[in-house]
Structure 1
Amino acid sequence: MTTTTIELTMRPMATAADAEAFRTLNEEWISKWFRIEAKDAATLGDPQGKIVATGGQVYVAVDGERVLGTAALIRFGDGIYELSKMAVAPETRGQGVGRRLLTYMLEQARDLGAHTVFLGSSTKLKNAVHLYESLGFRHVLPSELPEMKYDRADVFMKIDLI
């Protein structure tokens, strides 16, 4: 069995190709497990306007020119961000791309002045929930977080960065 080394570089979304990878990688996992909701389509179709222009950021994990992972920090208020739309290319899942991307994103959240990062996930996504737990996210009641209007969300978590 041969293994290939992934040389990851993490950076903010910078090109139309990055935005397209953000859309396609997320559409892949969402449509596999759930359905693409109107809020998904709006965010994935205009990450610059829906995320970056409102004080958040989309990040990409790249190997050479190929985007292998994406995720967003959506600003909800002073020091409060939602981790959203985290996706890893199917052929590289289980190789640490998601862990490295999430670690990078938490560093970036601190640099943005975040004191809290929260997320909504699903019990169907056991590996994702385990990843969040392993990096310090804790389960909370949905009433402890800003409202997230996704039908699929039944796991609610947050991490305090200060």
Structure 2
Amino acid sequence: MSEGPRVVTWDARYREDFARLNRGWIEQHFQLEPADVASFADPHGTFVATGGEVFFALSGGKVLGTCALRREADGVYELCKMAVDPEARGLGLGDALMEAVLRFAKSHAASRVYLVSNTKLGPALGLYRKHGFVTTREGEEVSREAGYARADIEMELRLG
């Protein structure tokens, strides 16, 4: 019997999977940007060492999904770099990752989790809305402030 999906936190063995899965969706729809390259080179330093976390969804011993939570300030976290292998979409891995992220945020006294994305990414936006995120801003100002040319929507979830 194969192992069911499970979510684990940062493990250096999965660093390349973090980059592989995120490069996939970014290169399919957009272009890699300097901030992407920096986070792929050092996910631990970018997310974990600063008070956040990196999550991996595993099934059958393979990493099929990932995302990161970056601590911005006391009580404020940014959800970053969420990706699920195209072959594993529809299996609930996005939900499992989101639930792990929100458990972590709540256990670290987060009052707000936000994200920036792109309105072209309908399934991702649907996942975020399903978990309670609401749109706070859309348009060019999001990309200017987020530091990603592809960002055109900001969403947030208020906790607690």
TM superposition score normalised by structure 1: 0.90
Q: Could you tell me how far 1:6 is from its partner in structure 2?
A: 6.9
Q: Does structure 1 residue 45 correspond to structure 2 residue 30?
A: no
Aligned equivalent of 2:151: 153
1:16-95 equivalent positions in 2, closer than 5 A: 17-95=13-91
Which consecutive unaligned segments of at least 5 residues does structure 1 have? none
Mapped to 2, the partners of 1:77 and 1:108 lie a distance apart of 15
Give per-residue Cα distances to partners, 1:105-154, cap 9 Å, x unaligned: 1111111221100000111100000110111000002679xx31111111
Which one-letter code corresponds to 2:155 in the other structure? M
Mapped to 2, the partners of 1:108 and 1:44 lie a distance apart of 21
Which one-letter code corresponds to 2:97 in the other structure? L
Percent identity of equivalent pairs: 42
Mapped to 2, the partners of 1:67 and 1:38 lie a distance apart of 24
Mapped to 1, the partners of 2:14 and 2:107 lie a distance apart of 22
Aligned equivalent of 2:122: 126
Q: Does structure 1 residue 98 correspond to structure 2 residue 91?
A: no
Q: Could you tell me how far 1:5 is from its partner in structure 2?
A: 7.4
Mapped to 2, the partners of 1:94 and 1:150 lie a distance apart of 27
Mapped to 2, the partners of 1:96 and 1:65 lie a distance apart of 17
Q: Could you tell me how far 1:53 is from its partner in structure 2?
A: 1.1
8 Å CA contact 2:2, 2:60 repeated in 1:
no
Give per-residue Cα distances to partners, 1:76-114, cap 9 Å, x unaligned: 000100000000011011221111211121111111221
The secondary structure found in structure 2 opposite 1:118 is strand
The secondary structure found in structure 1 opposite 2:151 is coil
Mapped to 1, the partners of 2:108 and 2:43 lie a distance apart of 18
- Considering only aligned residues, what root-mean-square deviation do their CA atoms show, in Å? 2.0
Which ranges of 4 or more aligned residues in structure 1 deviate by more than 4 Å? none
The secondary structure found in structure 2 opposite 1:36 is coil
